[in-house]
Structures are given as C-alpha cells and as structure tokens.
Copies of this chain bind each other. A is one copy, B any other.
C-alpha cells in the first residue's frame, strides 16, 4: 500500500472560535479527524508543520515546508494550507522531482456547518494518488497548476490567469 504523507500548515481549514478571546484562531489540525470520520483506509501519516494563517507565512516557513517534503520518503504528499498564499507555496515547491504534491484548504473552517473542508480534502486525497509527479492546487473541484493560477478573493475561488 502507498503511503500518503499529509503536512498541515494551518489556514482557514483549521480555524476554531475561542470564546475566551472572542476571536477565531488557527487551532490544532482537523485533518486527523477528517480522515478518521470519513472512514479512510488508505495508509497515511499526518504531520502538523505549523499553525498559521497563510498571510503570515514567512520565507522561513516555506523553506520548512520545502524541507519536510524533501525529507519525506513518500511519493504522495498532501499539504493543507491557507488559500491566500497557497499558490505561492506551490510555486516554491515546483522544482521537486519524483513526487506528486497536492495543496488544498478550504474557504470555510472545517468546524463550520456546510464547510467545504471534507469535500476538498477528499478531492485532494484522490488527486494525490492519481496525478502524475508535479505540484498541484486542488480547490473548487478542480486541479490547478500553481504556475498559472491565482485566488480570486471576491469570487471566493481559484482561477487560471488570463
């Protein structure tokens, strides 16, 4: 069986509401819960690399993500990430050989009713097993090449550059 190595970096998908602060923060990753609740039997390992809004990710953070991917023995790498700079991280990883790397996230926190988190993780979880080597953004039920993609914040979706 093939190992799927899941790295979590934070982003909206992992946001929780802290009443004591009256604020919403990135919490512990929801990925293990999502994979368990959905009865996933594919071999996988979940590693929380960081817990950040993707607007706050630094060059050092991206280097840490890059290093984690390079250090993994797995051919199939799934990364959960805030949507605002997901494309930027995808570009940073573009040179990595011999791996299928898929980035996903969600526009609504996993803990919100009707969140897109479970669908998106499911979508990315198939994409990472079936796509050829390379780096991909898996959002909105579509596969994107980060080199030619951007997030359209107003529309709440990813689109290819014109």
What residues of chain A have their CB less than 8 Å away from a CB belonging to chain B? 12, 15, 17, 19-20, 22-24, 34-35, 37-42, 44, 53, 55, 82-84, 107-109, 111-114, 116, 118-127, 129-131, 138, 140-143, 153-154, 156-157
Tallying the copies of this chain within the complex gives 4
Distance in angstroms from A108 CB to nearest chain B CB is 6
Contacts of A55 in B (CB 8 A): 22
Please, how many angstroms separate the alpha-carbon atoms of A44 and B23 in the complex? Answer: 31
Contacts of A130 in B (CB 8 A): 126-127, 130-131, 143
Contacts of A109 in B (CB 8 A): 17, 112
Please, how many angstroms separate the alpha-carbon atoms of A34 and B44 in the complex? Answer: 25
